[in-house]
């Protein structure tokens, strides 16, 4: 139950610290990335408290995580190339989605350590 709570608390804290002016929107996007757990429906049983999600579910594998890293880093690279260093709204959205997915994978990875 603590694990599930962290999937809501950590995105909220990250949004409050790093996205102060738009923390509500950022929190919504970060929490919305929990949709990645749809791949749990492919497992039998769907929920196993002793199973490590990382490496087991298709959207929790290393290739998928590398895509999430690209979603997070790519918009930062584009922003750095802008002369005024401003965010394009779609780039910021992609960045937040990548961040939310990486936070999700990190929290799921904690379960693998226990």
pLDDT digit of tens for each residue in the chain (114 aa)?
A: 788 899 999 999 999 999 999 999 999 999 999 999 999 999 999 888 888 999 999 999 999 999 999 999 999 998 888 888 888 889 999 999 999 999 999 999 998 886
pLDDT value of position 84: 82
User: Considering the entire predicted model, what is its pTM?
Assistant: 0.92
Q: Alpha-carbon distance 113 to 89, whole Å? A: 37
pLDDT value of position 22: 94
Q: Alpha-carbon distance 82 to 58, whole Å? A: 35
Of 4, 35, 25, the residue nearest 95 (C-alpha) = 25
pLDDT value of position 85: 80
pLDDT value of position 3: 84
E strand intervals along the chain: none
């Amino acid at each position: 139950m603590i694990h599930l709570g962290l999937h809501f608390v950590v995105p909220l804290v990250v949004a409050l610290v790093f996205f102060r002016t738009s923390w509500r929107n950022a929190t919504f996007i970060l929490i919305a990335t929990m949709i990645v757990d749809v791949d749990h429906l492919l497992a039998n049983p769907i929920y196993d408290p002793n199973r490590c999600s990382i490496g087991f579910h298709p959207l929790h594998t290393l290739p998928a995580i590398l895509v999430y890293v690209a979603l997070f880093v790519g918009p930062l690279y584009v922003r750095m190339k802008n002369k005024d260093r401003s965010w394009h709204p779609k780039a910021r959205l992609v960045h937040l989605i990548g961040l939310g997915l990486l936070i999700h994978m990190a929290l799921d990875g904690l379960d693998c350590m226990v």
